């Protein structure tokens, strides 16, 4: 199963999670990350653009997932994480026109659906990057 499929099945509204929590909790489930519930709480303050409507919480949680999957010990030992992260930012910008929460909320948020369109597309972007990186690493 992909993260996007989990979101489509109602994971986002059913669990009363913010955008960052949705991505991290969902990725934990879909990608079998094995993160304990205590660690999942780390995403709580990233929702709503870190509570300041800055960088999208879904994007920041995606960065957490990418770091967990593709960095062995720390970033300096895995310089490719910068390229992977840049691709994430680029795809958010390409698909949404921005990666800043305030801009995204102004454009996509509704009282009924909250940030569902952004969370759904963000999950699809994360699925794409993870799939691409795993294929690339299998070829190496």
Q: How far apart are CA 110 and CA 94, in angstroms?
A: 21
Is residue 140 over pLDDT 90?
Answer: no
Phi then psi for residue 10, to 5 deg, are: 105, 10
Q: How far apart are CA 80 and CA 71, in angstroms?
A: 9
pLDDT at 125: 98
Q: Give the mean model confidence (pLDDT) for residues 120-128.
A: 98
- pLDDT single digits (tens) 102-116: 999 999 999 999 999
Q: How far apart are CA 135 and CA 113, in angstroms?
A: 34
- Average pLDDT of the chain is 96
Q: Give the mean model confidence (pLDDT) for residues 11-37.
A: 95
The answer to whether the CB of 84 falls within 8 A of the CB of 78 is no
């Amino acid at each position: 199963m992909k993260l996007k499929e989990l979101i489509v099945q109602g994971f986002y509204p059913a669990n009363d999670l913010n955008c960052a929590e949705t991505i991290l909790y969902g990725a934990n489930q879909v990608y079998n990350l094995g993160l304990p519930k205590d660690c999942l709480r780390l995403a709580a303050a990233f929702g709503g653009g870190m509570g300041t409507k800055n960088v999208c919480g879904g994007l920041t949680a995606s960065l957490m997932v990418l770091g967990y999957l593709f960095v062995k010990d720390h970033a300096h030992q895995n310089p490719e994480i910068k390229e992977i992260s840049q691709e994430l930012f680029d795809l958010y910008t390409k698909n949404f026109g921005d990666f800043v929460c305030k801009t995204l909320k102004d454009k996509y948020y509704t009282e009924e659906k909250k940030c569902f369109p952004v969370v759904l597309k963000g999950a699809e972007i994360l699925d794409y990057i993870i799939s691409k990186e795993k294929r690339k690493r299998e070829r190496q």
